[in-house]
C-alpha cells in the first residue's frame, strides 16, 4: 500500500492495483478549488503504471459540494474562457485518463461535484446522496464540462429543469434518472466502489481502454462511422495476447460462464 499527495487537499492511496483518490476538504464539504482541480489533473497524469482502476471518494459526510465560491473572481470573458478550459482539461484526465474511474458518492453531489462525478465511468451512490445544479440561481453557468456530460446521463430537459428551478434529486430519484448506476445503503458507497474497481482491474487492459476511449466516441458518431470504428477496435482488442489467452481458457472450460447471481 502506498499513500501520497500532490496537494494538501487531495490524498492518493494505492492499494495493490487500485488507486483511491480522496478529496480532503471535509470542512468545506470538499468544495473544489483551482488548486484541487489541478491536483486531480496531475494525479491522473501520474498514476503508477501498475494501477488498473481508480476510485474517487470525498472525505467526511459529502462527496463534493461544488465550486469553492470563496475563490470566485470577477473575470472578463477571455479570463473566464481560460478558467473553464482549465477545468475541462483536468476533468478530461479523469474521463479519458489511463484507467477506469469509479465514483463513491455520498451527501452533496452538487455543481462542480456533479461535474466531477459525471466525468467518472461508474457512479455508486449511497442513500445520503443528493444532486443539484445551483449555478442557475447564482447567476452563473456550469463551466467544468457539465453541459456536455450531465445531459448524457439524465437528458437535456432534466438538466434544464434543475438549473431553472433549483430542483434537488435525492439518492433514489438520482438512480432512477441516471445519475448513478448503483445505489447502496448509507455509508457503503466506498466499499461497493472498491468491489467494482477490483472487478474492473481484472479485465484485459486494452478492453478497458477501448471502453473508456472508444465507446463514448463511437456513440457520438453517425452509424456508418460507428460501425467501422467498432470493427477496428474489436479487431485490435481481440488480437492482444491476453485476449487470446482468455478466449482459450473459456473454450477449454477454465473460465467461469455467465450466470445470474
Q: Report pLDDT digits (tens) over 116-133.
A: 999 999 999 999 999 999
pLDDT exceeds cutoff 70 at 4: no
Ordered by start, the domain boundaries in the chain are 2-201, 205-251
Tell me how far the alpha carbon of residue 236 is from its chain's centroid.
26
pLDDT for 121 equals 98
Q: What are phi and psi of 145, to 5 degrees?
A: 95, 0
H helical segments located in the chain: 34-45, 77-95, 112-119, 146-154, 156-165, 171-177, 189-201, 205-209, 215-220, 223-239, 241-251
* Angle in degrees, 0-180, between the axes of helices 112-119 and 146-154, rounded to the nearest 10: 70
Mean pLDDT (the chain) is: 92
Pick the CATH number of 205-251 from 3.40.1390.10, 3.90.1170.50, 1.10.12.10, 3.90.950.20: 1.10.12.10
Active-site amino acid positions: 115, 135
Q: Report pLDDT digits (tens) over 46-79.
A: 999 999 999 999 999 999 999 877 776 677 888 8
Model pTM score: 0.92
Q: How many CA atoms lie within 13 A of 113 on its CB side?
A: 29
CA gap 224, 12 in Å, rounded: 42
Task: Write the CATH number of the domain with boundaries 2-201.
Answer: 3.90.226.10
pLDDT tier, 1 (very low <50, low <70, confident <90, very high otherwise): low
Amino acid at each position: 500500500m502506498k499513500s501520497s499527495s500532490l496537494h494538501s487537499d487531495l490524498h492518493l492511496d494505492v492499494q495493490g492495483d487500485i488507486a483511491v483518490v480522496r478529496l480532503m476538504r471535509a470542512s468545506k464539504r470538499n468544495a473544489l478549488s483551482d488548486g484541487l482541480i489541478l491536483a486531480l489533473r496531475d494525479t491522473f497524469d501520474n498514476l503508477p503504471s501498475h494501477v488498473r482502476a481508480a476510485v474517487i471518494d470525498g472525505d467526511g459526510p459529502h462527496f463534493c459540494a461544488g465550486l469553492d465560491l470563496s475563490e470566485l473572481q470577477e473575470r472578463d470573458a477571455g479570463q473566464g474562457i481560460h478558467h473553464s478550459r482549465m477545468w475541462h482539461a483536468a476533468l478530461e484526465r479523469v474521463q479519458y485518463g489511463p484507467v477506469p474511474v469509479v465514483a463513491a458518492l455520498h451527501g452533496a453531489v452538487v455543481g462542480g461535484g456533479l461535474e466531477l462525478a459525471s466525468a467518472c465511468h461508474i457512479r455508486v451512490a449511497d442513500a445520503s446522496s443528493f444532486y443539484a445544479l445551483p449555478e442557475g440561481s447564482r447567476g452563473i453557468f456550469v463551466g467544468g464540462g457539465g453541459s456536455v456530460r450531465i445531459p448524457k446521463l439524465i437528458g437535456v430537459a432534466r438538466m434544464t429543469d434543475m438549473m431553472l428551478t433549483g430542483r434537488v434529486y435525492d439518492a433514489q430519484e438520482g438512480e432512477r434518472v441516471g445519475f448513478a448506476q448503483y445505489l447502496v445503503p448509507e455509508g457503503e458507497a466506498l466499499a461497493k466502489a472498491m468491489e467494482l474497481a477490483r472487478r474492473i482491474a481484472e479485465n484485459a487492459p486494452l478492453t478497458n481502454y477501448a471502453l473508456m476511449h472508444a465507446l463514448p466516441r463511437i456513440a457520438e458518431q453517425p452509424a456508418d462511422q460507428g460501425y467501422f470504428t467498432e470493427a477496428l477496435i474489436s479487431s485490435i482488442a481481440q488480437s492482444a495476447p491476453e485476449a487470446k489467452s482468455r478466449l482459450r481458457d473459456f473454450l477449454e472450460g477454465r473460465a467461469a460462464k455467465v450466470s445470474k447471481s
